[in-house]
Structure 1
Amino acid sequence: MQSLKRIVVAPVVAVCMATTSCTLIPSSGPSAIKIASEAKAVDAPYILINVTQSVAAILESAGERPLSVAFGSARRGSSSRIGVGDVVTVSIWEASSDGLFASGTGRQGGTQIPEQPVSEKGTISVPYAGVIQAANRTPDEVKAAIENALKTMAIEPQVLVNVVKNISNTVTVTGEVASSGRIPLTLGGDKLLDVIATAGGPRVESHQLAVQITRGSRTETIPMERLISDPRENIYVQPGDVITLIRQPRSFTVFGAATANASVQFDESQLYLNQALAKVGGLNDERADAKGVFIYRSEPVELVRRIVPSAKPMRPDGTVNVIYQVDLKDPSGFFLLKSFKVSNRDLIYIANSSLAEVRKFSTLVSTTATPVVQGVAVMSNLNDLGQ
């Protein structure tokens, strides 16, 4: 019977020894120590940044770049200049009914030249006046040019130039608006919200939208709520701008030793880390390592270099994989929660404490060994009865 006990108990000992390896202990992710140690490697796939008030301030200022800085806030000098593709009409009157443009009605001569688009060369054609340069001129300047060309042939000619289809002085509004299309600009200048309103306004609630502005080769995107609440963002648009309203629900994901692991959508234009953690019930008191609150994010290398000057791009788009660490064992860490902004698609990971790992190890060993030990005891009792 003693040999049987040795045969049965031996596997239990082997299992207990095997479970001393951390890789066999169930875990929701890496420990805080593991994350910190791998960040020191020469070829580390991420940069670990301990969040301080100065780091939080840098990150907050990086997210507050107004469109007036990106594109400028100046109003366009004039939106009345004629451009290529614009459709114009020209009306001509003379002081006598016997002039070039006589109508045959016995009244002062006059006629209207049919609508015509401004050619690719920027010109229009006027009978007797010939080819007239129209592009990059105001209607008054084109009027003066036609009158000057006719003054030796017509009798005191008077000209009226009218733009009936304004193609060059427009912006394109598309996306989640009631009516997509080209919006002609007014002489006084139009701002972003003006042209969005002219297009019928957003089709969904503003907190679900981002506004993308493309001007030339440059594109900037801001939340719709920020455009509404910050007057600096409501800049003047320029001819040729493309304004797109994009439906972009924002969310973050929480894993690890939180009260709940979940993907959470949020409507706030500015969501801070304390609010994000509150949405999932905070840290799990029995499991969480308060020093190990990590935020995974990809950041532009220019921004990371303001914190870590030696940072280099890690992805083809020039971004860097960054893990931000917040230490809630430090009483001031809770102030950091109130100043650290959560971005769209952030991943928040809360590491397990070392005590939680020990507890899991003890539970695993106990769960594995107890049935075997109980079996040995039963067999021993049976053996005693047989004797």
Structure 2
Amino acid sequence: MKITKKTVGPLAISLSLALSSCTGLPSSGPSASAISSASSERAAPYVLIPVTATTLSLMSTADPEKLSATFGSGRQQSASLIGIGDIVMVSIWEASDNGLFSNGTGGKSGGTQIPEQPVGTDGMISVPYAGQVRAAGRTPRQVKLDIEKALTRMAVEPQVLVHVSKNVANTVTVTGEVAQSGLVSLSPRASRLLDVIALAGGPRSESQALAVQVTRGSRSQTIALEKLISDPRENIFVQPNDIVALIRQPRSFTVFGAAMANSSVQFDEPELYLNQALAKVGGLSDERADAKGVFIYRTEQASAVARIAPGRTYAGAGPFVNVIYQIDLKDPNGFFLLKSFRVQNRDLIYIANSSLAEIRKFSTLVSTTAAPVAQAAAIGSVVNNLATK
């Protein structure tokens, strides 16, 4: 085919169409302006929250990973109370050799020991000549006094000892990544969370990858083991029937966009801050990154969002809300915010491309599109010259 000015014309038109469609350039994600404009829509699927010092202060008070906030930091229920299923042993002494329970050796005898028995579902135990005695929900001393009172008219100055030989009701179930799963009896002095983990033999793997899940009734909360160790306030008192599970839970965050590396990164630190997280992937790309567009994607509890951003509306309803936090590094204070913004497990960090990067990308497209056109025009000129000779 002979290339002439007529064939070059349509190519020029195609080039102009390519120039007018620069907004359709391939990109690693939305621009900062696109995220901001979408968040202002009435039915936006997420809440955009600019990060400020005030925001960070509110976020710290609404930290979802707080056992003390979920279960309280008060002391445990008394572990000295007898419960249903506990194995109880009753021993009885008398002051006379000829008493109801004496064995002919007087007060120096070892007394009469009633065989061990479990506390029934009705909360009662059975004692000869005293009948049914309520034990559940009472201390051994209270049960002792009741038995002595019941035997006063039949025995000679009876002295009673009540002992819980096997504690079943006042126990905590400890399972998961511990040396020995099972029931751990609570002591009357009150047991804390780390106490029962230690009584179960402690963790059987590195603590950096473990989380502790506490379940009490219908409530459940999980915290990183290292955070539990480092923060004494989270070492709460356990309660009877609690379930404590050590779970292998490697934590990670993901980085996309104009960073030096796009990847998923695992971390062991009990508290990882955003400046440290960005350093793990080499930081922002100087050539591509929009310093105003550092975004953290996260799903938050609706109650936390109401506290952090009161009055904000979002699409859908339920206990959780999609949130995008934005940090502006054009503001000199932004770097202080990086040092205070805590990264959570499964966070997605997105660095938007700058408009200058889009211009560079468009320039590359122009050059790669225009070069064949210019080359074709040059070839056409040479062919025309040869044809006229």
- TM-score normalised to structure 2 length: 0.91
Q: Do the aligned residues in 1 keep the contact of 2:11 with 2:373 (CA within 8 Å)?
A: no
- CA shift for structure 1 position 20: 2.7
- Amino acid across the alignment from 2:121: E
- CA shift for structure 1 position 294: 1.0
Identity of aligned residues (%): 64
- CA shift for structure 1 position 358: 1.4
Alignment of 1:1-387 (within 5 A): 4-7=4-7, 9-11=9-11, 13-14=13-14, 16-18=16-18, 20-22=20-22, 24-63=24-63, 67-76=67-76, 78-101=78-101, 103=103, 110-312=111-313, 314=315, 317-387=318-388
Moved over 6 A (4+): 104-107
- Per the alignment, do residues 50 and 352 of structure 1 end up closer, same or farther by CA in structure 2, a change over 3 Å counting? same
Counterpart secondary structure, 1:240: coil
Counterpart secondary structure, 2:340: coil
- Amino acid across the alignment from 1:48: L
Query: 2:315 & 2:247 partners in 1: Cα distance?
Result: 28
Query: 2:178 & 2:381 partners in 1: Cα distance?
Result: 80
Q: Do the aligned residues in 2 keep the contact of 1:178 with 1:201 (CA within 8 Å)?
A: yes
- Per the alignment, do residues 332 and 243 of structure 1 end up closer, same or farther by CA in structure 2, a change over 3 Å counting? same
**What does the per-residue CA deviation read over 1:82-136, in whole Å, with 9 as the maximum and x for residues that have no partner?**
1111011222233344443355789969432222110111001112211111111
- TM-score normalised to structure 1 length: 0.91
- CA shift for structure 1 position 154: 2.5
Query: 1:210 & 1:317 partners in 2: Cα distance?
Result: 26
Q: Do the aligned residues in 2 keep the contact of 1:178 with 1:200 (CA within 8 Å)?
A: yes
Q: How many residues align?
A: 387
Counterpart secondary structure, 2:223: strand
Q: Do the aligned residues in 2 keep the contact of 1:295 with 1:325 (CA within 8 Å)?
A: yes
Counterpart secondary structure, 2:91: strand
Q: Do the aligned residues in 1 keep the contact of 2:56 with 2:340 (CA within 8 Å)?
A: yes
- CA shift for structure 1 position 23: 5.0
Query: 1:244 & 1:142 partners in 2: Cα distance?
Result: 35
Counterpart secondary structure, 2:307: coil
- Amino acid across the alignment from 2:71: F
Query: 1:195 & 1:43 partners in 2: Cα distance?
Result: 48
- Per the alignment, do residues 80 and 237 of structure 1 end up closer, same or farther by CA in structure 2, a change over 3 Å counting? same
Q: Do the aligned residues in 2 keep the contact of 1:301 with 1:311 (CA within 8 Å)?
A: no
- CA shift for structure 1 position 347: 0.9
**What does the per-residue CA deviation read over 1:266-299, in whole Å, with 9 as the maximum and x for residues that have no partner?**
1112211111111111111111111111111112
Structure 1: any 5+ residue segments left out of the alignment?
A: none
203-212 or 292-301: bigger deviation:
203-212
**What does the per-residue CA deviation read over 1:320-362, in whole Å, with 9 as the maximum and x for residues that have no partner?**
2111111111222111111211111111111111111111112
- Amino acid across the alignment from 1:113: I
Q: Do the aligned residues in 1 keep the contact of 2:2 with 2:380 (CA within 8 Å)?
A: no
Query: 2:22 & 2:165 partners in 1: Cα distance?
Result: 77
Counterpart secondary structure, 1:204: coil
59-68 or 180-189: bigger deviation:
59-68
- CA shift for structure 1 position 17: 0.7
Counterpart secondary structure, 1:381: helix
Q: CA RMSD in A?
A: 2.5
Structure 2: any 5+ residue segments left out of the alignment?
A: none
- Per the alignment, do residues 350 and 257 of structure 1 end up closer, same or farther by CA in structure 2, a change over 3 Å counting? same
